[in-house]
Each structure stands twice: as structure tokens, then as C-alpha cells.
Amino acid sequence: MAVKKYLSIWGLFISRNLQSKMAYRLDFIVGIVANTLMQCIGFLAIWVIFNQVEDLAGWSYHEVLLMYGVASISSGLSEFFLDGVWSIGNQFIRKGELDRLLTRPMNPLISILISKMEPHGLGQILFGVVLVIKVVLSGTLSFPAVRLCVLPLVVLCGAIIYLSINLTVASFGFFATKVMGMQVLVHHMNSFSKYPLPLYHKLIRILISWVIPFAFTSYYPTAWILQKKGWIIGCLCPAVAVILLFLSYQFWKWGLRHYQSAGG
Amino acid sequence: MKGLRCSRLKGIKRYTGYVHLLLMDSLAFKTNLLSTFLASIIEFIVMLCIWISVFHSKSTIEGFSFPEMITYLCVAQGITAIYGWSNSIEGWVYERIHEGNIVFDLLKPVRFNFARIAEGIGSSILQISFVMILMTVLMILIPEFKGPRSLSCLACFILSVGIGYFIMSFISLIIGLSSFFLMSYWGIYYLKKAIIDLFSGSLAPLALLPGWMQSISAVLPFSKIVYTPVMIYMGRLSGQALVQAIFVQLLWCLVLFLMSEALYRIAIRKVTINGG
């Protein structure tokens, strides 16, 4: 079955990638330390804010921490597994490595995705998990614990949303050069999704919810878990992930057809 | 003859070529600069929104009123933005070492460290222009963003930023030269960015950090890059304290310069011993 084949190839590539990254031990460690430090800075920022006030846009300290933890896990997942998308513009399209992948009996997008992995994504996932556990165990939040069971689905959808958004921007690389800047810029918009949405001006809220829907990676799922939003939003999260994945994949395929018909 | 005279450029003039080269380089890649610039504006907007919300319930925070906090934020972010992504001294040093081109630099009649700093200056010129335009726009759009207390305040501020710039450049040099032990420099770049964000005061006034972090920050050079100039701008350091602060900055500048020179000598010995 095709899925089984892909999964086993994927497993192979992951272990191979991991081995090659760990060959440069110091790099590996420095990368993880740096990333963990950046997560800690995010945590410190929240601490600094709540050292001064009791709530931020109606969210308490532990609620914001929960949201930050969920955001870390999603973005860590996408960085760890889906780092290949960043290289699409430069390495694969411009330098022509995509041609090599097109000769393989495998979906070229999957080839790209499994070719790269960033171990520091692991640090982010771990940080997020520790944070979520810490918040839940502190007992300060009152929500039905059973809602936590959706967390694996939430972070998976989050990673899919990150992938879809990044893939869409990267696919512009088929038609224009230098998309890396755009990718970085769009990716940075996830900074908005680290804090509760009511904090921002209406325009930003609309941007982050409906145009570049990073809010569905962290804010809306956490709001549903904490019973701040109803079931409609709860169902929207996976729906948005699926729709975005479909749309971005179509755009990628369209760009790929254009690339191939232009003689590669 | 004119030709011969050009080939005997003395002193600072030897480095203007590097400044010019990187300035042209950065002009060629303005789109990249613009997108990373816009990315940092996003961070700025997030912080602005947070502080606006926080000040709804409190009128002062650790001795900063709302206009003062906004002013702090704008100026601190402005100084941080000057360094940007394009001014990547550690990247250039790393490239030269790892691609072996450093041998060519050893042949040139310029000091390696100073040449890299000259490149940094060239690269920063465009960045500084962007920042100054942005600051002016912000001052018009945000009434809480106040100007400097006086002209002498502004002059001292510019001096302080200038010294801070060199402190930052030497730190970058040191990190670049230490890249001998690393294969890729992205890890250490992010580590440096994280540590500097933390201790320089670019995210929030140092008074907001936990006590033990403030103590650490006082003995590290990073706060002298952002926090000191901003405090001078806001007129919170004046008279004796001002002179002292500038003196501390100059001291760190000297210390880091000596460190970068020492590291350079160690690096060069390694390069030449290994056959270049």
C-alpha cells in the first residue's frame, strides 16, 4: 500500500538525517540550546507581563502559558518534520535539484519534505510539552480535562497549517525569484499567534484568522479547550487545516506543471 | 604618478573600499532587507499591543509611564534594527574560514578584523537609513513617542549608539572567529541573538527583568549596546552618571577589541599550521 511505503521511506530518511546532524555534535547541541533559549525568552516575556498585571485581554497567566505551550509544540513539529519547504525556492527550483527529484518514483513534494529535518524542532516540542504539563498539573485552570485529549490533533493540525501556508508562499518560487524573504515575513506573522487575539486591532485579528490563519494553530484551539469559544470554532480548527492543505497542494501542483512545461 | 599614489593609501582610507562594496551589495539586495525589516516591525507591533493592554490597568510600570514605555520601545527597537540580518560579520568571517578564502585576506595589506567591521558599516548604512525614516514616521504617528530632552541629549545619544555599534561589531567578530569549532553558524547566530535580546534591554527595560537577571546583565556588555543609549536619550542618565556610562561603554569596547585581536591570532595560527 502506498501509505505504508511512504511511511517506511520516511522513517528511513528521518534516521539518516538525524545521524548526519548528530555527526556534528557541537552544532547539534548548540542548535538545541539556542532554540530552547529562545523559547525561554518567550516564557520570560509572559512572566514579565504578568509580573505587572493579572490578566492580558481577559486571559490569565496560566491560560496564556497553555497557549504558548501549544504554539511551541505545533511550530516545533513543523520545524522538525517539514523544514524542507524553506529550501524549495533556492535549492530545488533555482539550483534545479527539483529535476533530480522528478525522476524518482515518488511524489516530489514528499521527497522535499523528508529530505530536511531540523533537530532543534525537537527542543521546541519538548519545551511545549513540559510547559503544557506544568500548567495542567498546577491545577489553576478549570476546564474539562477530557478536552485535553484533542491536543495531539490540535498540534497536528497546527503543523499542517504551518506547512500549508509556507508551501503556498514557497510555490510562488515557480513564478518569481527570491521568495525566501516573503517566506520569512509570512512565517514571522506567527508571532501574533503567541498571544491572545483580543489584544490586537481588528485588522490584525482578521489577518491572522482568515488571511494567514496562524490563529488556528494556537489561539482558537486553546480557547476551545478552555471553554472560551464554542464548538463551532472547535470544529473549524481541523477543517481549516484540511482546507488549507488541499488548497496549498493544488497551488504547488499547478506551479510544478508550469515548471515542467517550461522545460524544467 | 597618480596610479602609484592610489596604491599607497594610508590608514582609514584603505578600508573605505570595503564600506563602499557592502553598501552597493546591500542596495542590490534591498528586497531581502525590506522583508526582514518588515518582519521585525511585526515583533514591534506585537509588543506595542501588549503594552497598550497592560497600561489599561496600570499607570506606571517600574517607574515608566505609558509615553515613556512607548518611547523606550521605539528607540530600543530602532537601535536593535540597525544591526539587522544583513550585517552579519560572523557570517562573513565564518564563510572565509570555512571556504578557505581567508588565505587571500591574509595577503591583503589590511587588518582582517577592521576590514570586516568596515564591511559591517557599509552594510549598515542602508539599514540605518531605513531605521531613521521609520523612527520619523513613528514619531508622527504615535504621539506618545517623545523626542530627546535636549540637543545635548541627542548628541550624547548618537555618541553612545556609535560606541555601542562597535561593541556589537567586536562581539560579532569574536563569535565569527570562534566558528572554527562549529560546522554551521546558524546555531550560534540564534544563540547570540537570543542572549542579546535577553540582556540588552531591547525587548523591555531591564528593570522589568527578575532581580538575578538584572545583576547578570550589569556585568555583561550587552546592555551597553541598547539600554545605555536609550536611557541617555530619555534623559535618565545625565551629568556624572552619563559620563560614567559612556566610560563603561568605551571600556567594554576596548576589552572586546583586545579579545577579538587575540582570537584572530589564535585562528590564524590554526589556519597556517593546517596548511591554510
Mean per-residue pLDDT of chain B: 82
pLDDT 10s digits, B71-107: 999 999 888 888 765 557 877 887 777 777 777 877 7
Most trustworthy range by pLDDT among A22-36, A108-122, A158-172: A158-172
Check: CB of residue B89 under 8 Å from CB of residue B169.
Answer: yes
Q: From A42, A45, A240, A70, select the one nearest A155 (Cα to Cα).
A: A70
> H or E element: which one contains A55?
strand A55-56
B125: its cell numbers = 548604512
Does A31 sit within 8 Å of B31, measured CB to CB? no
A74: its cell numbers = 505545533
More confident residue, B19 or A1: B19
Amino acid at A213: P
pLDDT band at B257 (very low <50, low <70, confident <90, very high): very high
Q: Which residues of A touch B182 (CB under 8 A)?
A: 24, 26-27, 30
Q: Percent of chain A at pLDDT above 70?
A: 97
| pLDDT on residue B248 | 93
Map residue A195 onto helix, strand or coil: coil
Q: How many residues does chain A have?
A: 264
pLDDT band at B63 (very low <50, low <70, confident <90, very high): confident
- In degrees and rounded to multiples of 5, residue A55 shows phi and psi of -145, 155
Rounded to an integer, what distance in angstroms lies between the CA atom of residue B251 and that of residue B146? 30
| pLDDT on residue B3 | 43
Q: How far is CA B256 from CA A112, A240, B161, B164, in A?
A: 43, 51, 16, 12
| pLDDT on residue B108 | 81
Q: Which residues of A touch B80 (CB under 8 A)?
A: none
B195: its cell numbers = 542572549
Check: CB of residue A158 under 8 Å from CB of residue A72.
Answer: no
Amino acid at B122: G
| pLDDT on residue B200 | 86
> H or E element: which one contains B275?
none
- pTM (2 d.p.): 0.83
Which residues are registered as beta bridge partners of A77? none
Rounded to an integer, what distance in angstroms lies between the CA atom of residue A243 and that of residue A253? 15
Q: Is A86 on the interface with B (CB under 8 A)?
A: no
What would the mean pLDDT of B172-201 be, rounded to a whole number? 78
Check: CB of residue B142 under 8 Å from CB of residue B132.
Answer: no
A152: its cell numbers = 495531539
H helices present in chain B, as ranges: 2-6, 16-28, 30-54, 66-83, 89-99, 102-107, 112-141, 151-177, 186-199, 211-219, 227-233, 240-273
Check: CB of residue A65 under 8 Å from CB of residue A131.
Answer: yes
Is the alpha carbon torsion for B43, B44, B49, B52 positive or negative? positive
Residue of chain A with shortest Cα separation from B37: A185
Q: How far is CA A54 from CA A58, A79, A116, A219, in A?
A: 9, 33, 42, 19
> Mind telling me how many Å the CA of B54 is from chain A's nearest CA?
7
What was the ipTM of the complex prediction? 0.83
Question: Cα A1 to chain center, whole Å?
Answer: 28
Q: From A224, A233, A213, A223, select the one nearest A57 (Cα to Cα).
A: A223
Map residue B238 onto helix, strand or coil: coil
Q: Which of A48, A124, A207 to mutate to test the interface with B (most CBs of B within 10 A)?
A: A48
Among A30, A33, A53, beta carbon nearest to B54:
A53
What residues have CB less than 8 Å from A201, skipping those under 6 apart? Answer: B49
Residue whose grid cell is 477530557: A146
Does A34 sit within 8 Å of B187, measured CB to CB? yes
What would the mean pLDDT of A6-27 be, rounded to a whole number? 77
Check: CB of residue A112 under 8 Å from CB of residue A91.
Answer: no
pLDDT 10s digits, A204-253: 899 999 988 999 999 999 988 888 888 888 888 899 999 999 999 999 88
> H or E element: which one contains A52?
helix A25-52
Does A194 sit within 8 Å of B191, measured CB to CB? no
Residue of chain B with shortest Cα separation from A185: B39
Task: Indicate whether A39 pLDDT > 80.
Answer: yes
Residue of chain A with shortest Cα separation from B192: A34
Q: Is A188 on the interface with B (CB under 8 A)?
A: yes
Residue A61 exposure: Cα atoms within 13 Å on the Cβ side: 17
DSSP A209: I
| pLDDT on residue B255 | 94
Q: Is B240 on the interface with A (CB under 8 A)?
A: no
What residues have CB less than 8 Å from B132, skipping those under 6 apart? Answer: none
DSSP B65: E
pLDDT 10s digits, A106-134: 788 877 777 777 777 888 898 999 999 99
- In degrees and rounded to multiples of 5, residue B150 shows phi and psi of -155, 175
pLDDT band at B258 (very low <50, low <70, confident <90, very high): very high
pLDDT 10s digits, A171-208: 888 887 777 778 888 888 888 888 999 989 889 899 99
pLDDT 10s digits, B20-47: 888 887 777 777 777 777 877 888 889 8
DSSP A138: T
Residue of chain A with shortest Cα separation from B52: A199
